[in-house]
Amino acid sequence: MPYCTKRCWLAIKKPKKKSHKGENGKLLILAGSPLYHGALELAILAAVRFCDLIYVCTCKENRALIKKLKLLTPNIILLNKKTLPKFFPKMDAFLLGCGWEDNDENCILMENALNTKKPAVIDATALKMLNPDFLHKNCTLTPHAEEFKQLFSLPATAKSAKKMAKKFDCTILLKGPVDYIASKNKFIAVSGGNAGMTKGGTGDVLAGLCAALLAAGNPPHESAAAAAFLNKRAADELFKKMGAYYSSLDLASQLAFTAKKLSK
């Protein structure tokens, strides 16, 4: 079984010196709910250092939270659902589902985003609502074992991930103690990580990171492999300093430092 190494991260595009704002990725995040507002925040904080501009559309109850986050970084642009469709063509990638409610409105939003055929990360509640017929080669699914079983009615194994990725011509990042990344003609595993990664929100951090790498112009398989590798390496760096007593917020904050270390 091939395992991801530092090369997976080094293969990711780096911003060009003469590039301008927006050229290194515009990401639209459709996520969050009154109950799971933290999922949205963690996805944003993970993504914000890895692409240029982040657009966010969430339920009205979360808009106050986003306004506070906008004070921390100029990269966040808050959209409302009425004007959302006109922004779809301008986006380089989508992140769908972190902390979402399972309802018809969100399902329609997801299907409209997938119909653009642009790169998209499908996570959490979006996986529960997903009709696999909407999948295409630019889709990346990020299920944990139970979500994989519910979606495909198959055991969450490397073999099953390969089979479903080939069937639906998409990329699957199956999360676990060892992450499996499968696409139509590629497969790689990512080892590492530790007990601190069982904290709620680490999956939202991973989804945000993966979506940002997609928005920056990296292919789906390579984005998923690099995101999984960096996420686990960042967790391992935190474990050295804090043991398992770190949070998902710590993980999101650590990503950029670990990325710099890996880039040397």
Residue spans per domain, the chain: 6-11+20-262
pLDDT of residue 72: 64
**Contact indicator for 56, 214 with CB cutoff of 8 Å:** no
Reported for 84-87, long-range contacts at CB under 8 A and 24+ positions apart, including other chains, are 84/57, 84/109, 85/112, 87/28, 87/55
- pLDDT tens per residue, the chain (264 residues)? 899 999 999 999 988 777 777 678 999 999 988 888 889 999 999 999 999 999 999 887 777 777 777 776 677 888 988 889 899 999 999 999 999 999 999 999 999 999 999 999 999 999 999 999 999 999 999 999 999 999 999 999 999 999 999 999 999 999 999 999 999 999 999 999 999 999 999 999 999 999 999 999 999 999 999 999 999 999 999 999 999 999 999 999 999 999 999 998
Which CA distances in Å does 258 have to 156, 164, 205, 227?
29, 32, 14, 12
* Superfamily, domain 6-11+20-262: Ribokinase (3.40.1190.20)
Q: Name the amino acid, one letter, at 220.
A: P
As a whole number of angstroms, the distance between CA 200 and CA 207 comes to 13
* DSSP classification of residue 96: E
What CA dihedral angle connects 106, 111, 114 and 120, to 10 degrees?
20
Note whether 90 and 62 are within 8 A (CB).
no
- 249 alpha-carbon distance from chain centroid: 15
- CB within 8 Å of 184: residues ≥ 6 apart: 137, 165, 166, 169, 170
Question: Given strand 76-78, what is the order of strands in its sheet?
Answer: 76-78, 53-57, 26-30, 93-96, 120-122, 139-141, 171-174, 179-182, 187-190
Tokens of 58: 């969430």
* Beta-carbon contacts of residue 41 (< 8 Å; ≥ 6 apart): 65, 69
Residue 75 has a pLDDT of 73
Continuous segment of H or E residues that includes residue 147: helix 145-152
Token pair belonging to 211: 């979506």
Predicted local distance difference test score (pLDDT) of residue 87: 95
Side chain identity, residue 153: S
Q: What residues are paired with 29 via a beta bridge? A: 56, 95
Residue count (the chain): 264
Q: Which pLDDT value is given to residue 263? A: 93
Q: What is the bridge-based pairing of β-strands 171-174 and 26-30?
A: unpaired
